[in-house]
Amino acid sequence: MQQRLHDKVAIITGGAKGIGLATAKRFAAEGAKVMLADVNLEAVQKAAASLAGAEAYAINVTDRTSIQAAIEMIMQRHGRIDILINNAGITQDARLIKMTEAQFDAVIDVNLKGVFNCTQLVAPYMLEAGKGAIVNASSVVGLYGNFGQTNYSASKFGVIGFTKTWARELGPKGIRVNAVCPGFIATEMVKAMPTAILADIERRCWLGRLGTPAEMANIYLFLASDEASYVNGIALEASGGISL
């Protein structure tokens, strides 16, 4: 059977761990040439070494120079970019009255402006080719908000706004843009939360558990593949029903 991403060139930001790494593994298994990008060069090199045909790039999504340098290298080596997965993200949680301006700015810079930076710099190459798929990492928090996450919620709401706008702008040019809104997934970031909070999350989720990075990777795979050729501008919630 034909691999779903056979010979596709895919950039995955935040690819050194968590959902990004799980997505890279899934894409590689489906025949993609995976360009793993992360601010942690050592970690992303280690991750890329474990995947056939993967390459590692040091990218800080808040630094347009590093993004452009990586894109130019990828274009030199492969001649195209078929898929962009905007997965890089951070949290710096605090209640509104205690959140510092530095905490707010850091999360907005990575989670929101970082998505803008990467997409704006990759899009011209997709436009030239007349095709492409972009998948943005939002969150269930970007749909409903969350206590103590003013910055994170705002960034993830914003990503959905990007997605809806770019789907209109780029869709007529052959480029699909969609977002995934994961619930609480068993990544290092989530598992570091207090035990009592994790237990409450599992209690509120109608599947009774956290999601897994591999489950999210399957969703990214679908949206990036030609199987989703008529899917454009959606924000797909994958939360185990926690919002019900």
* Alpha-carbon gap, residue 219 to 236, rounded angstroms: 9
Could you confirm whether 230 is annotated as catalytic? no
Longest dimension (CA), the chain: 55
Task: Classify 99 as helix, strand or coil.
Answer: coil
> Which candidate in 57, 125, 144, 152 is catalytic?
152
Are 10 and 224 spatial neighbours (Cβ–Cβ below 8 Å)?
A: yes
Cα 225 from Cα 25, distance rounded (Å): 15
CA–CA dist 3, 49 (Å, integer): 21
Q: For residue 140, which phi and psi values (nearest 5 degrees)? A: -60, -25
Distance from C-alpha of 30 to C-alpha of 33, rounded to nearest angstrom: 9
Number of residues written out for the chain: 244
**Alpha-carbon span 49 to 185, nearest angstrom:** 25
Q: How many angstroms separate the first and last alpha carbons of the chain?
A: 38
Catalytic residue IDs: 152
